[in-house]
Amino acid sequence: MTSTVKELPTAAPKGRQIAAAAATRTLEVTNKQEAKIANITVVTFNLTYRYEANGNTVTRNLLCTGSASGAINASSSSNQYISQGRGTCEVRTQPSVFIKGAPFQFTKVHTVTTQAGNAARVDGRIYTA
């Protein structure tokens, strides 16, 4: 698993005080996960999550998107939410692969959640649903 969190530049919103604008940060996470069969990478899942945080609390989701690439055909859907100041981006993907000529379909859920008390740190995981 590879996660990268970076702070994006933000312009001061109109009508807000400079101090309030400075406290709000825009952060973006990119997370990469690989699915392996017989120790061979068959699918690479990429997730991008952009959100705003004030201090250590996520205040607004801006973007949650994901994709899968490799020896597959896949469809994806995303969901994002904030709970108790922690932001979560979830991408559900249904890849189809062929193994020895036989089709094999499964569902992978790829998530990134900010850590409690630190909106700039995340936990990412992928699991089979």
pLDDT digits (tens, 9 = 90+) for 92-115: 998 777 777 888 788 889 999 999
Dist CA 50 CA 61 (whole Å) = 6
Residue with tokens 């020895």: 100
Assess whether pLDDT exceeds 70 at residue 17: no
Q: What angle do CA 56, 60, 61 make, to 5 degrees?
A: 110
Assess whether pLDDT exceeds 90 at residue 84: yes
* pLDDT averaged over every residue in the chain: 85
Q: What is the domain partition of the chain in residue ranges?
A: 2-128
Give φ, ψ of 21 to 5 degrees. Answer: -65, -35
